Amino acid sequence: MSRRQQVVYLAAAWCLSYPDEELTGRVPLMRSALGEFPGALPDFAEVLDLLESTPPMEVQAHYVREFDLGKRHALHLSYWTDGDTRRRGEVLGNFKKTYRQSDILVDTRGELPDYLPMVLEYAAVVDLAAGRELLTRFRASLEMLRFGLLRDGLPHARILQAVCATLPGKSPADEQAVMRMAGYGPPTEAVGLDPYDPRLLPVKGA
């Protein structure tokens, strides 16, 4: 089971990342790895097909439009529960603390530490238990993102479904149930975040 989760998390991390040439080159590897587990490949198939069959500039423009230019499909987990509020700074610090407790260097690559592809990759290749705990803690964020992708007809919704299926409990039936799970929706208080340095996280004990 842990091997399947690792493959699903890493494939999801890649499929939710910016579709550059390196990512396109990984499609055969993802197909092969997912194909080792019954029922795993279909949730990823449409996105993998798009990566292989769509001209690079077109698929990149589509990604930027859907994931970078607005908040409808925000890939930062704490956005969905804390929005742009001051409290989010503490939440981001907790992600950073989790990474710091690992015995290898975690490169944030200029992203905030709650960036979903980063959390998924961390779970897949660094610390499965700690990564799953982060995903479980932010299950409501994953579900809200899933419903947003589903509402807009994006195939990435099935990838979020595959990730949620690895976590305890069933997915909520509708967005109202997700809101109840979260306790509230994305706040709108725009007071700014506490200063955050998105450089390499230090090695444990450094």
Q: What is the pLDDT of residues 174-203, one digit of tens each?
A: 666 666 665 654 444 433 333 333 333 333
In b/e form, how buried is each residue of 162-184, taking b as 16+ CB within 10 angstroms? Answer: bbbebbeeebbeebeebeeebee
Cβ proximity of 81 and 186 under 8 Å? yes
Upper half-sphere CA count for residue 39 (Cβ side, 13 Å): 6
- How far apart, in whole angstroms, are the C-alpha atoms of residue 76 and residue 54? 26
pTM score, whole prediction: 0.82
Sequence-ordered strand ranges (E) for 36-187: none
Q: What is the DSSP-derived secondary structure letter of residue 67?
A: I
Q: pLDDT tens per residue, the chain (206 residues)?
A: 689 999 999 999 999 999 999 999 999 999 999 999 999 999 999 999 999 999 999 999 999 999 988 888 999 998 888 776 677 788 888 888 888 887 666 666 677 899 999 999 999 999 999 999 999 989 989 998 998 999 999 999 999 999 999 998 776 656 666 666 656 544 444 333 333 333 333 333 33
Of the chain, the end-to-end C-alpha distance in Å amounts to 33
